[in-house]
Amino acid sequence: MAVPTNTQQTYATVGNREDLENKIYKIAANKTPFTSNIGKEKVSSTYHEWQTFSLRTPSAQNKQVQGDTTAATAVKTTTRVGNRTQIFKEMGSVSGTLEAMDHAGVASELAWQKVQKGEELATDIEARFLGNFASLAGDASTAAESAGALAWLTSNDSRGAGGADGGFSAGVVAAATNGTQRAFSETLLKAVLASAFGNGARPTQAYMGATHKQQFSAMTGIADIRKDAGSGQATIVGAADVYVSDFGSISTVPVQYGLTRDVLLIDPEYWAVGTLRPMKDEMLAKVGDAMPFQIIAEKTLICRNEKASAVIADLT
């Protein structure tokens, strides 16, 4: 169909107003279920310490002769462990001109950037505390590092061939050594749950990536022992459904990052985020016509007793 002669069209018109929504639609992996579900503690030093303790193995041969002399038995002592705080930081800068302009979707570009940087920093902390990272004291030119959850676990673990525990020793948490990867299965899950039960633990939350969550959901026969979390799981951040094991119910929590080859099972009572400096935004020294700022936090991961948790490592 031909266009009539001299018909004015939008393509040659310069006075058209833009049609830009006054909203910003954001999608990002910004959830932090692990650090949101565990405890919170204030720490006062860059090396935070605590003590752990386990009862001795029960003896079925504890029998005594009438009237015998009582002698003291060996005493189990506590174990002193600790972790380093790590400084997490994000920086940004907004020009004076940009801040003065009328923006679509936000009232202040500076305020918007601070919010986004804060969310990004929170996910950095989540990824660190979930992962298999060693602790490091740091020095004048090297940043201190906090050990992640996967590095702590040595008691209730299932690892592939060649895999080895990390764990705490002499003031340092070492990272676990990766082994040969294998498929995630219900057999592996039941084995670590039995180990945890033998150590007096009953994990209530299982953290896993998308691939392993799908494998978990497809386990043979699992349909009869899964149920929707429903409103009862409202206080558990990110809970998807509940796995009813021989030793209690476990809320499965899929995570978007931090766990690519491992499934982490925890009792949140035995973990906490230790905060030396809470997250805050600070304006930095003004440079010309720019407004630089930083979002900063200093935190550590507290593993109150590693025997309360379990890990299925080296998964495909």
Q: What would the pLDDT profile of 98-147 be if each residue is shown by its tens digit?
A: 999 998 888 999 999 999 999 999 999 999 999 999 999 999 999 999 99
Residue 72 lies in a domain: no
- pLDDT of 14 reads 78
| Of residues 304, 302, 296, the one with CA closest to residue 122 | 296
Q: How far apart are the C-alpha atoms of 11 and 159, rounded to whole Å? A: 64
| Residue 287 to residues 111, 133, 171, 248, Cα–Cα distance (Å) | 18, 36, 42, 58
Residue 4 lies in a domain: no
Residue 228 lies in a domain: yes
| Residue 124 to residues 120, 167, 233, 249, 293, Cα–Cα distance (Å) | 6, 22, 25, 29, 18
- pLDDT of 233 reads 47
Residue 294 lies in a domain: yes
CATH code of 206's domain? 3.90.1690
Could you tell me the two tokens for 81? 């462990």
Residue 63 lies in a domain: no
- pLDDT of 5 reads 84
Residue 286 lies in a domain: yes
**pLDDT of 256-313, one tens digit each?**
988 999 999 999 999 999 999 999 999 999 889 999 999 999 999 999 999 999 999 9
Q: How far apart are the C-alpha atoms of 64 and 73, rounded to whole Å? A: 13
Q: How far apart are the C-alpha atoms of 230 and 226, rounded to whole Å? A: 12
Residue 221 lies in a domain: yes
By the 8 A CB rule, do 276 and 43 touch?
A: yes
By the 8 A CB rule, do 204 and 247 touch?
A: no
Residue 87 lies in a domain: yes
Could you tell me the two tokens for 61? 């041969």
Q: How far apart are the C-alpha atoms of 316 and 180, rounded to whole Å? A: 9
Which domain does 140 fall in, by range? 33-51+79-312
275: helix, coil or strand? Answer: strand
**pLDDT of 66-83, one tens digit each?**
999 999 888 889 999 999
| Residue 269 to residues 39, 62, 128, 201, Cα–Cα distance (Å) | 7, 32, 19, 11
The number of distinct structural domains making up the chain is: 1
Q: How far apart are the C-alpha atoms of 228 and 243, rounded to whole Å? A: 9
Confidence band, pLDDT 50/70/90 cuts, at residue 10: confident
Beta-carbon neighbour count of residue 97 at 10 Å? 9
Could you tell me the two tokens for 237? 């951040």
| Of residues 204, 156, 171, the one with CA closest to residue 38 | 204
